[in-house]
Chain A
Amino acid sequence: MRRFAHALLLALCVPAFGEQKTPPPPSPPRPIPWPAVTEKKLDNGLTVVMAPLASVPKITTELTFLAGRGTEYRTHPGVAQLAGRVLTEGTNGRTSRQLKEELRAIGGSMSVSVDDDATTITASALSEFSPQLFDLLGDVARHPAYAKSEVALARSNFASEIEEERSTPDFVAEEQLDKAIFGRHPYAFVVPEPTEIEKVTPEQLKAFAGARYVPNNAHLIIVGDFDPAAVYDQAQKAFGSWERRPLAAEATSLPTRRDKRQIYFVDRPSSVQSTIAIGALAMPRQSPDYMSLRTAHMIYGGAFYSRLTLNIREAKGYTYSPYSQVNLRRRSGSFSANAAVRNEVTGPTILEMLYELDRMRVAPVTKEELDAAKTYSIGGLSLELESQAGMASRINSIYTYDLARDFLQMFQTRLDALTPDDIQKAAAKYFDTYRGAIVVVGDYGQVKDQIAPFGDVVVVKH
């Protein structure tokens, strides 16, 4: 009611004709209603987290195991990705086809992603079918069959997909940058060589799943329109009798920072653009520098109204969609700046990208920039929480990276505390391209002269 009166008042006070020359003053910001999260732990160690969001009559779940794609990559490259991929291709009691048909019948979907730190089964369905959804999710997580024929098909398709991905410049740039930044650390591993995949056996996958997909290595996030007591019962029924297993200790090795900048040029003949990624080692997600680096990134290239876009897109017209990203993981992380530009402006673009990075390191951002980045960040968070998938994924990150449980509630307070000096310090520390890498994917013959001034170049065969 208060809002209604306020808005009406505005409408009455301003003449209802003629154009208005300045933006209307914003109403006072409303506090974000944080999700009412309930956390429980089953006897077997499975953490169950529930948050109601009645946006639509659906339910979304994320079951996450702390088993990243680099797990065992030296001995069995690709084993983690294949083990995840074949999870949805049949259980001891259901064929792959039965599983997909049962999902269709409940308006459901189920997919598995394997990232640097975790394997996550994401599953959703219409709310009315939540008992069936938990039954399927429990079966997939606990009793994957790894049938020989399914494993063979998955191996072959995974190999072809890698070939396909490697024909796209973005993927090639990302893969090369991770290798350059993380060196011999498991985070450098993105995908196996297609030839290595053939060697992975169903037995290895079963062993992997048996050791890693266990309740005491997992958390289950449930978001949606549901009755919490009923859904908790369903989760308990699906996972309560699952036995805990002793866990192998998580690897603790850390990547080391490069001594100096290195350029990697991946030669992709016939390219009509250079795909540029400039990156450096950052820190783990838990680091206290998280808020300041995140905000520095927003100002540099995270928002649309950012320094990078203003410069190389809106002023110079070199590129369509430049951006930066902060990718922080359990043990380490990276920062990168990215742009795809026509061949003839490759050198000038790298110059501007580096200039803008260095500018953030040597001079403080303005108060106006910082205030805008803060509002943008807090607004962005409330937009994420608008959808069940967005909320599930945001809550999941709290558990995957083992963050303080009041992360969401404290977000604004931490953001508010940031000063221009904090941003400059974070930039100085993590936008360090002098000890980072520059990756260019493009036509080497056409652009090599533009690259040479920026450092030593290693040419990588595509």
Chain B
Amino acid sequence: MRLRMLLFCAAVSAVAIGKPITVPVVYYRLPNGLKVVISESHAAPTVTVAVYYGVGFRVEPKGRTGFAHLFEHMMFQGSANVKKMEHAKIVESNGGNLNGSTRLDFTNYYETLPSDRVETALWLESDRMRSLDVSEENLKNQKNVVSEEVRVNVLNQPYALFEWLDIWQNANQNWFNAHNFYGDLRDIEAAKLDEVRQFFKTYYAPNNAALAIAGDVNPDAVRAMVEKYFGDIPLQSVPERPDVSEPQQTKEIRLKQTDKLASVPALALGYHLPDQNSADYAPMVLLDLILQGDESSRFYQRLVKEKAISIDWSGGINFELGNEFDYDGPMLLVSRTTYKPGHSGDEILKEVDAIVLQVQQQGVTKKELTDAKVRFRSNFYDQLESTMGKAHLLATFALFHDDPAQINKVLDTIDAVTLDQLQSVARKYLVPENRTAIDRVPEKKEAK
């Protein structure tokens, strides 16, 4: 409602003090099982159409690391009525941009366009949900492209994304959580065309997807278009999800790696997190902000400023892969820091433990908690600002919780967190035996 008010009264809008905004949500399912979310807003004349399929790299086939991502590329290679690269051509020549991405538990395809082109986007997405059209030649081409993606983002980079690729592989024991998500080049090379077709048939079904439309649209009009383009796509039988649960970690894991391309050492660490639906989760979200959410945070202030060991500090829940909500399964709280040569990862872990111990013994201050809630709200608004950011949250809440209206409950859940809860989750989860740390140091080079 507030958004609507702002639209019509933009010139004289008074600022609501601390009052949370409400995202309009229209939610329903088509008879074929497709979850549909529509959110109307008119701050800008743009719209995002996003299709989220309920399969990510976590549950990709064993022996085929990187397959979910390779498959994502194949979704741009053509469908019954849209030839290879035509999808991009049509979106861009209609003034939009587009992309897709593969994450832990979903793969998404989206375009943001001037809002009068919403129907074009719906037609495009429906065509590839209905009828993927792939060939040996296209598969060979995209295996090459994806291999270059792995090289440019991993193999030819210092640190090689160790803060997620290596932390996840070492912190977890269940293969689904512990394999190479970007993919081994040999596995990518080995993928076969019939596997691509089978994967499409298995997972890319309307009953395993959520479609979100957010922006400057009329929900009733969009609803009719969705019915028209997606209504008759047949549902499929989607297999039961494998067991992705993770056994309790009992002993700290510490590793040392050397890096041929890095010139400055770095450390990454990860703690297993409580389940997203547990009462411990919201307190962990705030504790993360207090420890490493910005430059006032405890880790940053101690390690970068006071001790001057770290050069930088970053981290978070679902770090570099998503946010606090857009996943479905075991999760890690990760930190990453590059630090000054002459120091060691052990020194940093000692400081981390001392900071955590203080929280475990004394808790955080009331002011820190209040400020963390404000920080959260501000960050959350940043996610809600663009039509894509909104579509993303709505689609993942629909996909994983069958309840996109949760978008409007997040702030209340966070606001309800107490000081005691923060102290309690610090004691429960931020312990060395729940942690994996990798110290990554430059390989010794001969003097230049």
- Are A and B a genuine interacting pair, yes or no? yes
Binding site for B on A (CB under 8 A): 3-4, 7-8, 10-11, 14, 16-24, 26-30, 32-33, 36, 52-58, 96-97, 100-101, 103-109, 125-128, 130, 153, 156-157, 160-161, 163-164, 166-169, 225-227, 268, 270-273, 275, 303-305, 310, 313-321, 340-342, 371-372, 375-376, 378-380, 382-383, 385-388, 461
Report if A105-B371 is in contact (Cβ < 8 Å); known contacts: A26-B120, A271-B156, A321-B152.
yes
A156 to B309, CA, bound (A): 11
A221 to B146, CA, bound (A): 41
Q: For A272, what are the chain B residues with a Cβ–Cβ distance below 8 Å?
A: 151, 155-156
A311 to B52, CA, bound (A): 29
Expressed in whole angstroms, the minimum distance between the Cβ of B47 and any Cβ of chain A is 10
Contact A26 B155 (CB under 8 A): no
Contact B43 A125 (CB under 8 A): no
Report which of B13, B225, B340, B386 forms a contact with A160, defined as CB distance below 8 A.
Answer: B340
The contact string, 1 if C-beta is below 8 Å from chain A, for chain B 77-110, is: 0001100110011101111111000000000000
Contact A56 B46 (CB under 8 A): no
Q: For A24, what are the chain B residues with a Cβ–Cβ distance below 8 Å?
A: 119-120, 123
Interface stretch (choices B267-275, B280-288, B356-364, B372-380): B372-380
Contact B145 A313 (CB under 8 A): yes
Expressed in whole angstroms, the minimum distance between the Cβ of B320 and any Cβ of chain A is 16
Report which of B44, B98, B127, B371 forms a contact with A382, defined as CB distance below 8 A.
Answer: B44
Q: For B113, what are the chain A residues with a Cβ–Cβ distance below 8 Å?
A: 379
Q: For A29, what are the chain B residues with a Cβ–Cβ distance below 8 Å?
A: 95, 114, 116
User: Can you name the residue of chain B whose Cβ is closest to the Cβ of A322?
Assistant: B148
Expressed in whole angstroms, the minimum distance between the Cβ of A55 and any Cβ of chain B is 4
Q: For B240, what are the chain A residues with a Cβ–Cβ distance below 8 Å?
A: none
Expressed in whole angstroms, the minimum distance between the Cβ of B426 and any Cβ of chain A is 19
A328 to B19, CA, bound (A): 42
Contact A103 B294 (CB under 8 A): yes
Number of A-B contacts (CB under 8 A): 282
Interface stretch (choices B257-265, B346-354, B392-400, B432-440): B257-265
Contact A305 B92 (CB under 8 A): yes
Report which of B227, B308, B338 forms a contact with A16, defined as CB distance below 8 A.
Answer: B227
Which residues of B in the span 46-65 have a Cβ within 8 Å of any Cβ on A? 46
Contact B92 A314 (CB under 8 A): no
Subset of 25 A-B contacts with CB under 8 Å: A14-B228, A16-B231, A23-B120, A23-B123, A23-B124, A27-B116, A55-B44, A57-B15, A57-B21, A104-B293, A126-B374, A157-B311, A160-B311, A164-B263, A268-B261, A273-B148, A275-B156, A304-B98, A314-B145, A317-B142, A320-B145, A340-B152, A379-B94, A382-B46, A386-B112
Please give me the 7 A-B residue pairs with the lowest Cβ-Cβ distance, nearest first.
A379-B95, A107-B378, A317-B144, A7-B221, A372-B93, A11-B224, A100-B296
B319 at the interface (CB under 8 A from A): no
Q: For A275, what are the chain B residues with a Cβ–Cβ distance below 8 Å?
A: 156
User: Can you name the residue of chain A whose Cβ is closest to the Cβ of B445?
Assistant: A269
Report if A105-B94 is in contact (Cβ < 8 Å); known contacts: A273-B156, A341-B148.
no
Contact A8 B224 (CB under 8 A): yes
Contact A304 B21 (CB under 8 A): no
Contact B260 A270 (CB under 8 A): yes
Contact A379 B96 (CB under 8 A): yes
A163 to B442, CA, bound (A): 12
Contact A17 B232 (CB under 8 A): yes
User: Can you name the residue of chain A whose Cβ is closest to the Cβ of B80?
Assistant: A19
Contact B46 A383 (CB under 8 A): yes
B189 at the interface (CB under 8 A from A): no
Binding site for A on B (CB under 8 A): 6-7, 10-11, 13-19, 21, 43-46, 80-81, 84-85, 88-90, 92-98, 112-117, 119-120, 123-124, 126-127, 130-131, 140-149, 151-153, 155-158, 218, 220-222, 224-225, 227-229, 231-232, 260-264, 293-296, 301, 304-305, 308, 311-312, 338, 340-341, 367, 370-372, 374-375, 377-379, 381-382, 384-387, 448
Known: A20-B81, A103-B294, A126-B381. 11 other contacts (CB 8 A): A19-B81, A19-B127, A52-B13, A53-B44, A104-B374, A105-B371, A167-B158, A268-B261, A304-B92, A379-B95, A383-B96
Expressed in whole angstroms, the minimum distance between the Cβ of A171 and any Cβ of chain B is 11
A103 to B44, CA, bound (A): 28
Report if A225-B218 is in contact (Cβ < 8 Å); known contacts: A19-B81, A386-B387.
no
A321 to B145, CA, bound (A): 9
Contact B148 A340 (CB under 8 A): yes
A319 to B153, CA, bound (A): 12
Contact A104 B375 (CB under 8 A): yes
Main secondary structure of the interface of B (DSSP, over half): helix
Q: For A130, what are the chain B residues with a Cβ–Cβ distance below 8 Å?
A: 15
Report which of A20, A169, A380 forms a contact with B95, defined as CB distance below 8 A.
Answer: A380
A273 to B155, CA, bound (A): 9
Expressed in whole angstroms, the minimum distance between the Cβ of B161 and any Cβ of chain A is 12
Contact A104 B296 (CB under 8 A): yes
Q: For B46, what are the chain A residues with a Cβ–Cβ distance below 8 Å?
A: 382-383, 386
Q: For A316, what are the chain B residues with a Cβ–Cβ distance below 8 Å?
A: 141
Q: For B120, what are the chain A residues with a Cβ–Cβ distance below 8 Å?
A: 23-24, 26
Q: For A14, what are the chain B residues with a Cβ–Cβ distance below 8 Å?
A: 228
Q: For B262, what are the chain A residues with a Cβ–Cβ distance below 8 Å?
A: 164, 167
Contact B148 A21 (CB under 8 A): no
Contact B371 A11 (CB under 8 A): no
Contact A314 B84 (CB under 8 A): yes
Contact A160 B264 (CB under 8 A): yes
User: Can you name the residue of chain B whose Cβ is closest to the Cβ of A17?
Assistant: B232
Contact A318 B81 (CB under 8 A): no
Contact A3 B13 (CB under 8 A): no
A166 to B261, CA, bound (A): 10
Contact A310 B85 (CB under 8 A): yes
Contact A33 B45 (CB under 8 A): yes
Expressed in whole angstroms, the minimum distance between the Cβ of A7 and any Cβ of chain B is 4
Expressed in whole angstroms, the minimum distance between the Cβ of B267 and any Cβ of chain A is 14
Expressed in whole angstroms, the minimum distance between the Cβ of A344 and any Cβ of chain B is 11
A55 to B119, CA, bound (A): 24
User: Can you name the residue of chain A whose Cβ is closest to the Cβ of B10?
Assistant: A54
Contact A317 B140 (CB under 8 A): yes
